[in-house]
A and B are shown apart, each in its own frame.
Chain A
Amino acid sequence: QKEVEQDPGPLSVPEGAIVSLNCTYSNSAFQYFMWYRQYSRKGPELLMYTYSSGNKEDGRFTAQVDKSSKYISLFIRDSQPSDSATYLCAIKAGTALIFGKGTTLSVSS
């Protein structure tokens, strides 16, 4: 079983939709969870950072961690065409990060 699983999509939604992006992980010892956003032909940039369980909100973005289910989610409210990108979940394992394969999101106007 891979350490981090993420559905690659692609996911297409109309502008204004609520988007849910998800990852599952296998090691219950993981405690630091991140979401990165990567625009086409650019490097990933950190979007959200969560420690342990619970929710964290930043504007239209909410990151959620359910450690009992080993499930992490990113919700995007009122999605915009500028949100079109690949979203990567990442989990801190020692010094390095383990990344999901990324979900490609397209928001149409």
Chain B
Amino acid sequence: DVKVTQSSRYLVKRTGEKVFLECVQDMDHENMFWYRQDPGLGLRLIYFSYDVKMKEKGDIPEGYSVSREKKERFSLILESASTNQTSMYLCASSLFQGTQETQYFGPGTRLLVL
């Protein structure tokens, strides 16, 4: 089974802190993604990466950066956390096989910024 793990299930941080969210997948997938999920807004793509050291902005990259130094690990960084970044953060990875591409999600990190 594909496994995507996220470093924390719950995090509480203060405004202005630098926050690191870590994601690791164990299936050698090329693609990795970071989403945030908010009530009434659904899943929104922040950044994705299709290879080591490669990254692409998603729909809402402002206030975030990412790092992918190794294929299995994709980090989301909040340089200076703000209260409007309180959210559920979901990491996903995928492998494209023929016409099918499935994204596998981690359990999510609930971040509260005070």
By a CB distance below 8 angstroms, the chain A residues around B99 are: 32, 51
Query: For B58, what are the chain A residues with a Cβ–Cβ distance below 8 Å?
Result: 96
Contact of B103 among A6, A42, A97 (CB under 8 A): A97
Convert A5-26 into 0s and 1s, putting 1 for each residue whose CB lies closer than 8 angstroms to a CB of B: 0101000000000000000000
Residue B31 interfacial (CB < 8 Å):
yes
Chain A interface helix/strand/loop/mixed:
strand
Residue B84 at the chain A interface, CB threshold 8 Å: no
From A41, A49, A95, A101, give the contact of B42 (CB < 8 A).
A101
What is the number of residues of chain A that contact chain B, defined by CB distance less than 8 Å? Answer: 23
Check if B101 is an interface residue, CB within 8 A of chain A: yes
Most buried by B among A43, A49, A97: A43
A42 to B104, CA, bound (A): 12
Further 7 A-B residue pairs, CB within 8 A, beyond A32-B101, A49-B100: A8-B40, A42-B108, A43-B105, A43-B107, A43-B108, A96-B33, A101-B41
Interface residues of A, Cβ cutoff 8 Å to B: 6, 8, 32, 34, 36, 41-46, 49, 51, 88, 90, 92, 95-97, 99-102
